[in-house]
Amino acid sequence: MTEIVWHARGGQGAFTAARILGMAAALFADKFALSFPTFGPERRGAPVLGFTKIDDQRIADRSEIEIADFRVYLDETLLDVNNQDDIKENGIVLVNTASGIHATGFGVQVVGIDATRLALEILGKPIANTALLGALAAVWDGTKIEALQQAITLEMKPSLVDKNVALLYEAYTTIRAEMT
Amino acid sequence: MSKKLFLSGNEAIAFGAKLSRPHVIAAYPITPQTVVVEKLAEMVSSGSLNAHYLHVESEHSALSAMMGASAIGARTFTATSSQGLVYMAECLHYASGGRFPIVMMNANRSLALPWSIYGDQRDSLSLLDSGWIQVYAEDAQESLDLVIQAYRIAEDIRVLTPVMINLDGFALTHTYEPVIIPDQEEVDAFLPPYANPNIMDLQHPRNLGFSSTPKDNMEFKYQQHAAVLCAKDVISDVDAAYGKRFGRRYGGLVSNYRTEDAECVLVTLGSVAGTVRAVVDEMRKEGKAAGLCRLRYMRPFPEAEIAALSATNRAIGVLEKDISFGYEGAVYTNVNSALLKAGHASPVLNFIGGLGGRSITREDIRSIFEDLLAAERQRAIDPVRFVNLGVAAHGR
């Protein structure tokens, strides 16, 4: 099972990203998935989590993810780089940042992407979740960019689809280019 | 053709209700049920569901409206949670006593005070005696399938009793997962239109919703009891028929996992059963013979299925998100009674956890199984234990 935790503030789209990732796996990649938010009242600006579990078989355990394979930060002010306890060995931390962090250490790789800048350029809004989905597909071959494109097409309002798909691929190719 | 969607438990319930073609829906929104009634309102508004939708002023009115509609032969659906459920408590007894086959979804949520929107099962379990059939779903697919099955069970002429479908608030209502949406024609073939000969009808007037005297009240109550007992066979038949048509069977009143050769069995209900199943697999790999019995139905109570769990030197635990203050968990009281009647001599322990939405982790469940494996060797142990309690236990 692969477990992904999305870190953001209420309103930044963490749960939408968690759900689109699960949908891509469950409907367009022949896998099983669970997606859920931090439970409780919704408050704009408050730290929130989104969870995605993906596996080749039905997932019975619905409890919150404690040790993740991937942690994705839509807001870098939520990142504590000294905390390595909540991620698996060889896990990856993806961060939305303008400062270009790329670091390794403690068996954890940190990959930065200026997702907000890409979102402003393509969507005209600082909503970084789609860009981070593209970045995740670039660093993890367990999720296919084509499946994410199909999930975005199914889930988002028709007027938003083209720009979000463009943003998805822009982030994907940006990280791919840096990796090669 | 059936199709697969990525849905939350709430959305799955709305799809199940739509496929069952209710004539009347009356509801009042409450967290964490709100999405169910929003989705149904959208379906009615867009014309994809041909039903009368009543946005009433309270849960008490919602269930009252359901009784009125049901009395004239309409298929009815409503949904609620927590404070809303207990607000309609008066009507719950009315609906079961009136033998109205209403189907209602309840999102299990804590009861105030302290006020809390998080999940536990005290709302529905405190209404075990309201005369409704009570079933607890584990995942979104089962939730959808249960709505369709519930109408066939409730409307069976031998049963004519309302059904409450319980989903753990948030853990099930707000979690998204792949759900197969059955084909409407297949559902229509499985669930024929509601046909009750005892409806309000000007051509054939009869007495409905009446009062009674000591001379005949007890006979009505006995027949109500007998109908719920009779539902056991109907539930089993409906599960088999559903499996034959749609390929999904859930096992009737209970769903057992690796219990045959188990040294200890944990009985539980709702979505936490999935986490228990994962821990059973882990423990089996370590050579520890753990098993799971998931109670699907609390009423009618699966007495024979629980009695069948009894075995020499097999400790049995009950994990529930409930406490009946001053005694023990209500699920434990029921399970323990069935086991003692069957002559079970090994320890039966009660684990109370998850009150007010506290998560029950794999480690918690592992520790419960370790307690059960050790219980056989202990004497004079306190059978009621609280999982992860942050204050000193009474009398310690």
Smallest Cβ–Cβ distance between B174 and the set A37, A60, A66 belongs to: A37
Is B275 in contact with A26 (Cβ distance < 8 A)?
no
pLDDT at B118 over 80: yes
Q: Considering only alpha carbons, which residue of chain B is nearest residue A155?
A: B6
- Which pTM was predicted? 0.96
pLDDT single digits (tens) B310-358? 999 999 999 999 999 999 999 999 999 999 999 999 999 999 999 999 9
Smallest Cβ–Cβ distance between B175 and the set A26, A32, A36 belongs to: A36
Q: Is B173 exposed, middle or buried (0-12, 13-18, 19+ CB in 10 A)?
A: buried
In angstroms, the CA B188 to CA B193 distance is: 8
Residue type, B264: C
Extract the tokens encoding A112. Answer: 């930065």
CB B227 within 8 A of CB B119: no
Residue A126 Cα, gap to closest chain B Cα (Å) = 26
The full DSSP string for A121-161 is HHTSS---HHHHHHHHHHH-TTS-HHHHHHHHHHHS-HHHH
Res A108: pLDDT: 78
Q: Would B3-246 and B254-386 be classified into the same CATH topology?
A: yes
Q: What are the residue ranges spanned by the domains of chain B?
A: 3-246, 254-386
Res A86: pLDDT: 87
B77 three-class SS: strand
**Assign residue A70 a region: left if phi > 0, alpha if psi is -120 to 50, beta otherwise?**
beta
Res A83: pLDDT: 67
For domain B3-246, the CATH superfamily is Thiamin diphosphate (ThDP)-binding fold, Pyr/PP domains (3.40.50.970)
The full DSSP string for A24-43 is HHHHHSS-EEEEEE--S---
* Phi/psi at B126 (5° precision): -70, -10
pLDDT at B191 over 90: yes
Among the residue ranges A3-7, A61-65, B43-47, B117-121, the one predicted with the least confidence is A61-65
Smallest Cβ–Cβ distance between A27 and the set B4, B272, B361 belongs to: B4
Residue B193 Cα, gap to closest chain A Cα (Å) = 33
| Closest to B337 measured CA to CA, from B329, A120, B175 | B329
Mean pLDDT over residues B48-75, rounded?
A: 97
Tokens 């355990």 -> residue: A61
The secondary structure element, H or E, covering residue B54 is: strand B52-55
Task: Spell A20-55 as b/e; 16+ CB within 10 A means b.
Answer: bbbbbbbbbbebbbbbbbbbbeeeeeeebbbbbbbb
pLDDT single digits (tens) B144-189? 999 999 999 999 999 999 999 999 999 999 999 999 999 999 999 9
Res B87: pLDDT: 98
Q: Considering only alpha carbons, which residue of chain B is nearest residue A19?
A: B176
* Residue B271 pLDDT class (50, 70, 90 cuts): very high
Mean pLDDT, 10 residues at a time, chain A of 180 residues: 96 95 97 91 87 96 91 92 78 90 71 96 96 97 95 96 98 91
Instruction: Report how many helices (DSSP H) and strands (DSSP E) chain B contains, helices first.
Output: 13, 15
**Which ipTM did the prediction report?**
0.94
Res B80: pLDDT: 98
CATH architecture, domain defined by B254-386: 3-Layer(aba) Sandwich (3.40)
Q: What are the residue ranges spanned by the domains of chain A?
A: 2-179
Residue B4: its chain A contacts at CB < 8 A?
A: 26-27
Residue B277 Cα, gap to closest chain A Cα (Å) = 7
Res A105: pLDDT: 60
In angstroms, the CA B367 to CA B221 distance is: 43
CATH number of this structure's domain A2-179: 3.40.920.10
pLDDT at B396 over 60: no
